[in-house]
Structure 1
Amino acid sequence: MFDHALRLHRETPDQPLRRGGSPCPDEEAHRRRQRPKAAGGGRSAGRGVALLLDAHFARGSASPGELAAVCHDVHIPIHPDEHITAAAERADGRRARETGRWLVRHGTDRCSVTLELALIAAVGTADDIRRVQTIGLLSDWFGPLAAHALARLAGGAEAVAWLAERVTGWGRVYAVHTLCRLDDPVTRPWLLRRACDGDFLNAYFVGDVVRTTGLHEAATASHVDDEIMDHAGRILLVMTGSSGMGATLSRYPHAEAVLAAHLRHLTRTEPSAGRYCTAASLAGNLGEDGDEGSIGPARRWRHHRDGYLSLLARDDWCGVAREALAAKDPGILWLVETAWGRRLAAFAGRPSPQSSDRSSPQ
């Protein structure tokens, strides 16, 4: 499992793993295997694992491989568990640590590696950071424990930020939540500039990000860089569709100030396909067809929406959007497939690309 993550990481060392690392080497076996259910629920979920660990460490001659062989007999939680932590701490620290390290390096399935992460989270040291980061890249399964394990180590906040930059989906949710909880000044600039990657799951942590970073103060400062404001646009966009998941624009106390700052910044910066898509999506989501649960009454945002529409109608912004369409930019292609996108000044009266393809001679 570790070798699988490491090989994929070397292909894209500064980006998430291709397809999130799927399929994992144990995919077929994991799908076929009948997994034990948790005994009880909630805070009782890890009791079976704790008993297994107690029995294993009570036998001085028991090898890590023997523990790996019986991992499938119990339910192993993928989130931190107090019973597993207590069992690891009851054992000899050095032996528990070496067992965890062996399992992460040689474990061939997600059950044994999950147990490894739980052991490292309890008794690991800074020497474990790189191996935890590597296996944590398979973040849909290992993300919660990897973020938890890294957070408790010296230099943990930076280690979690490294992981957060290289995971998406639920893995990013776990990592960003952890960074916001740690609230380390060293990683606050990353949260301010890069936490939201545009995935709809960003809604689960967007409220934590704006509170931790003091986004409104940064966005309304006299000097603010493009990266902060581009990220502010993504944050605002997430908030226009986050009802039922996280902080919404209608309940964000600094919404008007940050929207105004974002729009003001866009009016004096170079247009790009990404900025066009963000501004266009904001204009659409702030209108009557927006999600009322996220934005409340659309009339509240009319001034900001009109400002975005005016910006999008400028010749330079229209030109960039049309060039991006010709270059088949994915964001622009998606935009012009929507009824809203085709009403924008840059694309008014144009058929969608799919319609054009269907009408082209064969």
Structure 2
Amino acid sequence: MIFLCERVAVVGAGSWGTVLANVLVTNGKKVKIWSRRQNQVDELNQRHTNEAYLPHVELSKKIEASTNLEDVLLGSEVVLLAVPTKAMRTVSHEVGLLIKKMKLKVIIVHASKGLELETHKRISEIISEEVSFENVQGVVALSGPSHAEEVAKHDITLITAASSNLQAAKIIQQIFMNSYFRVYTNSDIIGVEFGAAFKNIIALGAGALDGLGYGDDAKAALMTRGLAEIARLGIALGADPLTFIGLSGVGDLIVTCTSSHSRNWRAGRQLGEGAQVVDVVNNMGMVIEGLTTVQAAYELAKEKKIEMPITEAIYRVVYQDEKMKKAISDLMTREGKSEEETFQWNTYQK
């Protein structure tokens, strides 16, 4: 199947949106990127850099930037949304109004990893509520083990394009894939989006272990047991169990829990070193999705009666001012469990 996509609109000029725009330009696509900030647009157009998000990275001169969203969307066949979860509904609404006005028929792909705090909805659900069906060929989640800093250097990266519309996922695979950026398709968008969101919680814990001086044994234990509880909740919410052993599950979990590129890992490390949550947020200067996702996951687990001890422990640290060492001690002194019992994921399927 060949899809002759010429123009892609990238909405959001953070690190990931900027790097994905660069991938698309490398692949011969005409790309315009949108930002609300004029100074950022001027930097992208004139200096071909985005120093606040991607220090020391030179971007393609072919990337055009604008603060005019309608201008960015004009003539586009694919719209990539790369904004924080908390901004997704507002931005999707703006995009939806404009593509309806311009009578476009687009594929929307998002590259965000989180859940809406008040509703607990996934990103694709938010987009589907805010953009008219008549203007959309499909909604695709682009997710997996990927750091913008490494993709910018053309390091080998493998990710997933997930959609209930497999044809739309294949189109996104086609336009993004190249010699250093490989894309697999997946029809389980529920599992891909939940895996992407929940792994940020475990990454907070992994960073905290590092900040407290724990070694590799502790980190391996956290990731393994973290994957078990991520899968339990995801499956209870309609995900395919196999998705959690794929790129957007264990793959994304590994990279986020082991790399200093990860904001969530860095935030967790500061918490482990004794910093207050408010100071961690101020120090980071960028969105830390895990801090809000842990609340959504905690509430969903209570609603579905799913046991998630690691998530609950991190929730208490973030929202109830519990000390990290106490949270770890409580986890380690819980009643003994059977590993076989806790991995019986079929129990949680609808």
Judge same fold: TM > 0.5, yes or no: no
The structure with the greater share of residues assigned to strand is 2
Bigger relative contact order, structure 1 or 2 (CA pairs below 8 A, ≥6 apart): 2
In our comparison, the structure showing a higher alpha carbon Rg is 1
**TM-score between both structures, scaled by the size of structure 1:** 0.29
TM-score between both structures, scaled by the size of structure 2: 0.30
Higher share of residues assigned helix = 1
